[in-house]
Amino acid sequence: MTKALNELTIAEAARALRARECTVRELWDACHAAAVAKNPELNAYLEIFDADETAIAAAQARIDSGDESLLCGIPLAIKDNILIDGKIASAASKMLEHYTATYDATVIKKLKDAGALFVGRANMDEFAMGSSTEHSAFGSTKNAVDPTRVPGGSSGGSAVAVAAHLAIAALGTDTGGSVRQPAALNGIVGLKPTYGAVSRSGLIAMGSSLDQAGPLTKTVEDAQIVFDAIRGLDPLDSTTIPAGLYPEHARKEKLTIGVPRHILSEGVDADVLETFEATLQRLAKEGHTIVDVEMPTSPYALAAYYVVMPAEVSANLARLDGIRYGHAARGETLLDDYVQSRTEGFGPETLRRILLGTFVLSSGYIDAYYRKAQAARDVLRKEYDEAFKNVDVIAFPTTPSPAFKFGEKSNDPVAMYLEDVFTITANLTGMPALSVPMGTVVREKSTLPVGIHFTTPHANEAMLFRLGTDVEKLSRGE
Ligand code: GLN
């Protein structure tokens, strides 16, 4: 059965464009038409852009003249917290509903240089805080596999745009799992690069020491294509890392995979755990070695994250005061202006995190909470560095359970926070991590995808791609 153009992967579309099996215009039209047709139901996009005729013609001309950029002419969905010059970037908040970006984020500039096209602004949890996209100020996105369920978050719109073929691939941001978790819940691939591998310039900041932009794609190969296009040292982001800063581990064919089974014994659905173990067994048959690892500090990672992250959120969102940026309400006094603008502009989850963050940074509590959390973060990183002396990769299920129903966790912040239990550690340690589909589980007659999650030492994304490709092959039965 031949695929429709919008169903192609980046690699397939790049090949089809060069084989003259389709034009850039036809590829764009297929994605755009699917987006327009399906968005009323799925709400993956907050805005679908009109065709940029100049960009389409330029991409076609490049391909005609033999340009080899694989992203040339490829339509992408972009999360609404990534700045595209001249377009609104609202971070799915009323606060920035009318904010128009005045420059391109570095990742956008790089994608434009590669010849990529942008289908629209993808929906998300407000300011990237959440795991279900239910915290968007503009309505939630529906899961691509089962529309009665959440798509995950916070990059829910990006994930659904790709899984439902409303774009060939997408860019999201990941502060605690926001690329990997929605990728897992929609049956696609998601990469959180090494901290500093990709510039944060032009991203609406959530937690500056945790944030990374990353690809959501149909295949591991595509994730690598996007990563290669967006990575690199950037003078506009002093935290970006030069090549060679971290040692690159030997490119082995067969890897040693560490599994911290002691933290999987509680809270993970039985069938998710079975799918995970079956996937590991298949990898073992392929010649990889599976060993147990102990990560004694892991149980504290979630708590540390929910102290460090809100602290950074409260600092980053302080600029949104109704004077310098954002929704502007006017009261009797200047203080009224601030209070009213922020009360009206921010949703409940954002307010909760600003309050939490302000509290953990306040004098008297900073030692008890913020500094303790930073200390736990250091220990966690050391523990991972230590474990990587014996293993190449550490594996978890990406999430404890498959996509849940709307409303199931939205009134219970702690239940929602537990969604991130396996993904947040990579943000706290700065290590790269990849989620790859590992199979399905059934809930109420619905067959739902779940993902396997791999972490490697800093700057060793190559190893993630290597192992991820094996998982893909095994699930295709090759
Ligand atoms: N779900 C996590 C949170 O709510 C992660 C968010 C993210 O990665 N942006 O903080």
Q: Is 383 in the pocket of ligand 1 (CB under 6 A)?
A: no
Q: What is the pLDDT of residue 476?
A: 82
Choosing from 123, 171, 178, 428 the residue with most ligand 1 atoms within 8 A of its CB, the one to mutate for a pocket test is 178
Q: Which residue has the higher pLDDT, 186 or 411?
A: 186
Among 134, 150, 154, 158, say which to mutate for ligand 1: greatest number of ligand atoms within 8 Å of CB: 154
Q: Tens digit of pLDDT for each residue in 15-63?
A: 999 999 999 999 999 999 999 999 999 999 999 999 999 999 999 999 9
For the CA of 131, the nearest atom of ligand 1: 1
Per-residue pLDDT of 223-237, as tens digits, reads 999 999 999 999 999
Contact 76, 118 (CB under 8 A): yes
Whether 1 shows a pLDDT value over 80: the answer reads no
Averaged pLDDT of the chain: 96
Question: What is the rounded distance in angstroms from the CA atom of residue 293 to the CA atom of residue 255?
Answer: 15
150 lines ligand 1 (CB under 6 A): no
Asked if pLDDT for residue 187 goes beyond 90, the answer is yes
* Any atom of ligand 1 within 6 Å of the Cβ of 128: yes
- Contact criterion met (CB below 8 Å) for 403 and 149: yes
211 lines ligand 1 (CB under 6 A): no
Q: Whose CA is nearest to atom 5 of ligand 1?
A: 176
User: In this structure, what DSSP letter does residue 19 have?
Assistant: T
Percent of the chain at pLDDT > 90 equals 92
Q: How far apart are CA 346 and CA 323, in angstroms?
A: 15
pLDDT per position as a tens digit, 422-434: 999 999 999 999 9
With a 6 Å cutoff on the Cβ, whether 60 touches ligand 1 is no
**What confidence tens digit (pLDDT) does each residue in 157-177 have?**
999 999 999 999 999 999 999
Active site amino acids = 79, 154, 178
DSSP annotation of 92: T
DSSP 273-294: HHHHHHHHHHHHHTT-EEEE--
